A and B are shown apart, each in its own frame.
Chain A
């Protein structure tokens, strides 16, 4: 009879191996599904996806543009997650950051590009921070469950932007579908090497956040609080203050994403400025075990997946939504694999043998102790 016993320890190689196995399994299962539903050779499909994402300069640029918001938002979300504060509100924080930045761009342009952009960055960060501060405050003060509050605030934010888009900020010059006016040129982020400067920001933030989480005092406090509030208290940390500060950073990063998306990608504020990035970022952060460099890698892969799917839509007539299904399947398998990292299967008879051996060892150790004395 098999029993599942909690592992005493597991090597890093073994756990990485389990993760990789689960990804491969997921790809296999998805391949079967692709074959059954589209009668196409799954290997060809996968190869085409890779080609569609990375085979030309233009395509790579598109992947980078898609990866930037994922990276920054995932960095923001993981700051909160490290503290075991479940910030599901990335979506809303991105929106409010975009809103604040748009406020500057549309209502308070300064006439100078660098100044306007810097003001927009600051506004974006503040917008996201404030939106994250709301659940943080309720949690710190009254222990209100942050999962639901952050989730609800997502929709309040989206509806707010919808209101602006169809109401007071509607562009009178727009024909057909209501939209908000385009940003003036000075409010649009410049490009570097053909891609908007967001990629440099994302790269810098990866390094900064890595240093922050692993080498700064606040990063240390966040990690300790996440592991054990008791120990954090014992070490003298101010838990409430740390929670609020961490959430300001988390929301701020998401808000920054909003600014970048509005300024560089859409050139305006619209209701799809976040486009689900808040939720995908959560999954990326979780998959990457909250580590900055892995977040960057996984974000690029996810973005590549979406790009590749868009390509095969035209090439194979396979709907691009297959990307979401693939993402979901991979994640289901990785989620399930966590169990095998924590527990191992062991046969009942082997278990009994192991225990008898351990007891014998202990008995001989004790008698040895008594001899020594």
Chain B
């Protein structure tokens, strides 16, 4: 009993950075921009969040700094791809490289340094009365750090935003066909800037979670490829924030399941389990292109620069 609960709880924690990054990339891709710089933005958020924490021990400032790190990275990408119509793939990859360099540079000498103890307390688990008494699920989901709760709320808010509000509808339209959205009088450029940078901020938050809560110390390359899993998750979740919740915690579970099954009859190398998110994503992509399914396909305008006067 306890084993399952603790496993579920750990899966949620492991999945939280993925959730933030995935939600952020969903926003960006819904606006038509494939930003392969997720890893870079997460790293920038992680290092800025950690530095702020070391300097101020203030949880709010640290979290904001984390968001800022991702935001700045996304802003560079946004300016290049929206204003200057640069190639999205190359721009995103560059951001990943730049972000990795930036975080390594800023984090030099901090290796192994831990988050100040008084700050740690702010991010400790806070049980929610009543809900946390529900057996198994309650204890797993509702006895978590506020950062994790923020993740739940964020996903639901983004889901409502995307499907039940006018700006959300406009965003979906832009991702499908910026030309049609433009003709309907929507300010395509503004929407893109807002959502791409907001998406970056969320990725930064995901990185900050790693350095402030998950580890919580500074490590070089703390994201360990999670940014790329997030890119895969967006596809796996069909660009849907609600499905992103399930996917993130699922992949989070896969992340930690390795050593728990060693020695049992289900023992499979951790590395094959690690491959699963990527293989599953490929399968999802292939199947949807075979079915040419409209429901789960990428926003049609993804990857294209939009220019009104193109003849």
Contact = CB atoms under 8 A, between A and B. Distances in A.
A147 B97 CA distance: 18
Contact of A153 (B90, B278, B286): B278
A323 interface: yes
A283 B275 contact: no
Interface in A286-335: 286, 319, 321-329, 331-332, 335
A159 B275 CA distance: 6
A160 B94 contact: no
Contact of B86 (A144, A326, A335): A335
A149 interface: yes
Contacts of A167: 269, 271
B93 A88 contact: yes
A359 B181 CA distance: 34
B272 A324 contact: no
B290 A142 contact: yes
Contacts of B95: 328
A336 B96 CA distance: 17
B186 interface: no
Contact of B105 (A148, A153, A319, A327): A319
Contacts of B281: 148, 152
A37 B102 CA distance: 12
A149 B271 contact: no
A153 B272 CA distance: 13
B101 A322 contact: yes
Contacts of A152: 232, 278-279, 281-282
Contacts of B298: 145
Contacts, number: 140
A318 B134 CA distance: 53
Interface in B271-300: 271-272, 274-275, 278-279, 281-282, 285-286, 289-290, 298
A159 B274 contact: yes
A332 B274 CA distance: 32
A273 B274 CA distance: 19
A184 B104 CA distance: 36
B interface, size bucket: 35 or more
Nearest to A137: B286
Given A145-B289, A328-B94, A155 B228 contact: yes
A283 B90 contact: yes
A271 B271 CA distance: 12
Nearest to B100: A324
Given A144-B285, A159-B272, A159-B274, A335 B94 contact: yes
Contact of A155 (B80, B96, B225): B225
A130 to B, nearest CB: 15
A280 B86 contact: no
Contacts of B164: none
A328 B101 contact: yes
B80 to A, nearest CB: 5
B94 A324 contact: no
B228 A335 contact: no
A335 B89 contact: no
Contacts of A338: 84-87
B235 interface: yes
A138 B283 CA distance: 11
A163, A280, A342 — most chain B CB neighbours (10 Å): A163
A193 interface: no
Contact of B87 (A286, A321, A325): A286
B94 A148 contact: no
Nearest to A322: B105
Nearest to B104: A321
20 contacts: A88-B89, A88-B93, A148-B281, A149-B285, A151-B228, A154-B228, A159-B271, A163-B271, A166-B269, A321-B104, A321-B105, A324-B97, A324-B104, A325-B98, A327-B98, A328-B97, A328-B98, A335-B84, A336-B86, A339-B84
Q: Closest 8 interchain pairs by CB?
A: A328-B98, A324-B101, A321-B104, A163-B271, A339-B84, A325-B101, A152-B278, A319-B108
Interface of A: 37, 86, 88, 138, 142-145, 147-149, 151-156, 159-160, 162-163, 166-167, 276, 279-280, 282-283, 286, 319, 321-329, 331-332, 335-336, 338-339, 342
